Structure 1
Amino acid sequence: MGWGAVKTYLLVFLKGMAMGAADVVPGVSGGTIAFITGIYERFLRALKSFTPALFPLLKREGLTAVWRRVDGNFLLALFGGILFSIAALSHVISLALLHYPLQVWGFFCGLIAASTLYLARRLDLFHGQTLVALALGILAALLVAVLKPVDVPVNAFTVLGAGAIAICAMILPGVSGSFLLLIMGMYPVIVGAVTELNIKILMLFLCGCIAGLLVFSHLLYWLIQRFRRPTLAVLTGFLGGSLVIVWPWKHVLESRINRHGEEVPLVQENVWPWAYQALTGQASGWVSVLLCTALGAALLLVLEWFGRRENSDS
């Protein structure tokens, strides 16, 4: 492997790290990062190549042919970056959400807003079908945003199911697996398993992730190939609609005590910074939040530049 290939896969590894970091935050999707860095369709294409047809190929031509068919180098670099990021940054991001939640949400708000504008610019917004699909995507995100967290029992079945659902969200720009884990009441379970290295829970979760990833990637890739314009419009709308999920200033209307004895929000409403300060008695920090929002938007420009450069090189 030459230096050019090494540099390419190093960049893929870094994009994987960005995807992993995004997926740790409830409300942000790793699929968003894949979408805006130009690797989204390659990611889906590689995943959908895992079919029973690989077994006769393995028998006829060996492991090397199978590795090429599934774009193994790309997937190894990408998932290596994702797993490294989750293991290395989950604690850091959890601390940041604990001590600087408004600034973290502001950062991702800027990233998602800039991403939505960037993607919408590439759509034919004067086409009726595109506008309907865009509206449906926004509506779907708004519906997801009003879901209430629930408590589910922690057993093999629920951990497998949580993995399958969370991983599907990971490859959907606009909603994160962490957010759906939060809705299912499984987020503290999985984060705790990562920090405490609970192998049993992690293996069950991983098996669920693999099953969900293989099934959903086939469906999503088929939709993009057969109905490209409306599918991309729905994904863009979903991404834009997810801004209501990551809006920094929220007022808790109803809370509950989870199984760990912790008080967690159940129903929240988005409010303006000045209303947030009046309702909660806490500083809105709007200047630092806006700076973080600008930083998130600037990061989009950097990621988009790298994605465009890589596509032109290839």
Structure 2
Amino acid sequence: MIFVKKLAMQRGLKEYLIISFKGLAMGAADAVPGVSGGTIAFISGIYEELISTISNINIDLFKTLFSKPFKTFWNQLNGNFLLALLTGIVISFVSFMRLAKFLLEHHPVLIWSFFFGLIIASILVVGKQITKWNLPVLMALIIGAIVAFYISQLPSLGANENSWFLFLAGAIAICAMILPGISGSFILIILGAYKTLSDAIHDIDIQRILIFVSGALVGLLSFSHVLKWLFKHYHNITLALLTGFIFGSLNKVWPWKNTLTWHTNSKGIKSPLLQESISPFSFQGDNHLVYAIILMILGFFTIFILERLGHKKQ
């Protein structure tokens, strides 16, 4: 908490604009099934501050709101940081979800290529932060990779528009969104809630959006305490587990896939349900190999740009 306060005191407008930029990157990543905004937060150097800030939201904080000046509450909340970050996330997520939907439908190889390169670089950047390797750390890496790979293989459930289900989906998905390597959007697809949420955003269905956000808040406030405890007591093991999550997610973002089964919604629109990764040379249609490689390289170096921003004074 003291660390967070010191950071907040040192920041100016430029630093908060950089945080908003990181939020934009996080929101864009979370809008794409298979990519995690938590990965972006980690790479850009704000992950542990974000987890610490969220976990400090409790009853005592709200007692401060009613018993002390608002400025005291705002500083204790690390409000400027949260406002800057959430502004970027929300703007990007809402706007990019539509774009992501279009790109995934019309240019899937190209968008997956960019994110494949991004995730390859993420593995290197997150993994190098592990300060000591031993058997438990190695096991955590392997377990994380297996879990993420298994999740990436799960088929999607049918769409469900029940309010309580949407609330629960929000709580579960937000936990994935703040975990590097596990995509909150992909979890929504598995649960059958991605289409419901994207339609709600497209139609500006305030009621459904608020139900989802409420579930997300409950999940976020609960899960952040677990992550904070893990980082405090098992830092290297936690880093290894998260690195494994990122590594295991590569299967999901491999650009060239063969669709095994399809899902048809109530409007008769078909979408891939179960897919397998294949060689680009076995891909039916134009594999866009040259453009895919260029986008992989671009995604790869994007991570190192974010990492450099993360090392700047925040």
In the superposition, the TM-score normalised over structure 2's length comes to 0.93
Name the residue aligned to 2:50: 43
> 8 Å contact 1:134–1:237 — kept in the other structure?
yes
Residues 1:62 and 2:63 are matched in the alignment: no
Which amino acid counterpart does residue 204 of structure 2 have in structure 1? L
> 8 Å contact 1:124–1:130 — kept in the other structure?
no
Deviation at 1:93, TM superposition (A): 2.3
Name the residue aligned to 1:209: 216
Encode CA deviations 1:17-64: one digit per residue, 9 max, x unaligned: 110111110110110100000000000011001111123323432322
Percent of pairs with identical residues: 40
Name the residue aligned to 1:303: 306
> 8 Å contact 1:163–1:212 — kept in the other structure?
yes
Deviation at 1:99, TM superposition (A): 1.9
**What is the DSSP-based 3-state SS (H/G/I as helix, E as strand, rest coil) of the residue aligned with 1:9?**
helix
> 8 Å contact 1:152–1:158 — kept in the other structure?
no
How many residues are paired up?
Answer: 307
Gaps (5+ residues) in structure 2?
1-7
Encode CA deviations 1:95-150: one digit per residue, 9 max, x unaligned: 22222110100000000001101222222464112111100110110110111101
Residues 1:244 and 2:255 are matched in the alignment: no
Name the residue aligned to 1:164: 171
* Cα distance in 2 for residues equivalent to 1:291 and 1:122: 27
Name the residue aligned to 2:144: 137
Alignment of 1:271-310 (within 5 A): 271-276=278-283, 280=284, 282-309=285-312
Give the alignment partner of residue 86 of structure 2, picking from 79, 88, 100: 79
Which amino acid counterpart does residue 255 of structure 2 have in structure 1? P
In the superposition, the TM-score normalised over structure 1's length comes to 0.93
Which amino acid counterpart does residue 197 of structure 1 have in structure 2? I
Residues 1:16 and 2:23 are matched in the alignment: yes
Name the residue aligned to 1:115: 122
* Cα distance in 1 for residues equivalent to 2:231 and 2:133: 20
Which amino acid counterpart does residue 148 of structure 2 have in structure 1? A
Alignment of 1:166-205 (within 5 A): 166-205=173-212
RMSD: 1.8
Name the residue aligned to 2:5: none
List structure 1 runs of 4+ shifted beyond 6 angstroms: none
Gaps (5+ residues) in structure 1?
none
